[in-house]
Amino acid sequence: MSADPNPIIRLARPAGPDCTQTAAKIILGSAVRKLRERENLTLTQLAKRIHVSLATAHRLEDGKGKPARLTVESVISHFQLGEQARDELLMLFARTQEPEWFQHRYDDCTPDYLHRLLGLESMAIQITTYDVRLVPGLLQTHSYTDHIVRTGLHLSEWDDDEVELRSRQREERRVRVLGQQDPPRCIFMMDDSVLRRKVGDKATMREQFTHLREVADLPHITIRFVFSSRMIAGNAAAMAGSMAQLQFGRGGLADLVYAEGYERADYFSKPSRDPRDPQKPLTRRQSDYERHLQLLLRIQGEGCASPVKSKQMLERTIRRYS
C-alpha cells in the first residue's frame, strides 16, 4: 500500500513573517542542516565552527527551543551567505522569538503536548484525522465544547473563567485553521460511536450534528465514519486512539503524524533519506511514521463509510435528536 495515496502537488505555504513560531524553528533548523550537509560537515564539526555546544547545535537543527541571535549570525558568517539567504535566516530567527498564538492568553489551558500540533496545523495544506470518542475539536460547536470542558473540571470550577477561556481557545484554533482564505483540505474520520455518545442535552447533540452535516458539503472538508464492527482496521484504530496526519506541500516542512494518548502525544516526522547513503535502513523511530500512517490509510480504506453514506448517517442522527 502506498504511503502517499493523495500525492501533494500544491506548494507549501510561504515561510514568511506570517509563519508560526513552531514552523519557523523547524524551517530554520532544516536550512542549517542543508548548509552543513552541503559542505559534508558533521554536527560536531559545525558546533565547533560556530562556537556552540553539540547539544545547542542539535537543538538548532531539530527546531527545539529558541535559538540565540549570535548562533544564527555565526552560521551566516561561517557559510558566507549572500544577502538574500542572510535575510531569510534572520527573518526566520525573528519569528522564532515571537510567541505562538496560544501562549500567554491560553497558557493555563493548553497542555504542553499540544503545543507542536497547535503551532503547525495552520501551516498544513492537508489534514487527515481520526477521532475515537468525540467530534474533532476543529468541528465542535460552542455548546458541545462547553459541555466537554465542564465535564473535565471540578464542579467548583464551573463558574470560573476557565470554562470560557478553554472554549475561546478552541474557537480561535478553528478560525486559524479552517477560516483561512486558503484552508487546508481536511478528511475527518470518526468512530461511529461518536454518533451515539451523548454530550450535553438533545439540543446540543442536534446542533453539533447539524453543523457536521452542513460542513460536510464544503469542498475542502470530507467527513467519514468508521464502523465499530469492522475488523482489523477498525479494531486497531480503537486501540490506537486519536491520530492526525499533517501534510505541508512541496518545498515545505516534513509531513507529520500526531498520535494522542491519555494526557500525552507522540509526533512522528516523515523521514528523509540521506542522499549520501539512500539505502541506509531507517531507525525504529523513523519507521514509526510509516507504521502510524499505514494505520490511518487502512482505517480510511477498510473501515470507513463512504462520504455519501456518512452524510446519511448524520441525517439519521439529526432526526433522532429532533
At CB < 8 A and 24+ separation, what contacts does 99-104 make?
99/21, 100/20, 100/21, 100/22, 101/20, 101/172, 101/176, 102/169, 102/172, 102/173
Please state, as a whole number, how many other Cβ atoms lie within 10 Å of the Cβ of residue 123.
Answer: 25
**Residues in CB range of 163: below 8 A, 6 or more apart:** 146, 149, 150, 153, 157
Q: Which residue's entry shows cell 477498510?
A: 302
Q: What share of the chain is helix, strand, coil (3-state, %, to 5)?
A: 50, 10, 35
Strand locations in 6-125 (E): none
- In total, the chain counts a number of residues equal to 322
Predicted pLDDT at 236: 56
Predicted pLDDT at 8: 53
Report the phi/psi class of residue 119: left, alpha or beta, with left for phi > 0 and alpha for psi in -120 to 50. Answer: alpha
Per run of 10 residues, the mean pLDDT along the chain (length 322 residues) is: 51 79 94 93 95 95 92 96 94 93 88 93 95 94 90 59 85 94 95 93 97 97 90 55 91 91 88 66 77 89 94 97 92
Cut 0.95: pTM above it: no
246 close to 256: Cβ distance less than 8 angstroms: yes
Q: For the packed helices 284-298 and 233-240, what is the interaxial angle rounded to 10 degrees?
A: 130
246 close to 121: Cβ distance less than 8 angstroms: yes
All three cell numbers of 177:
485553521
Strand locations in 209-297 (E): 221-226, 243-247, 256-261, 264-269
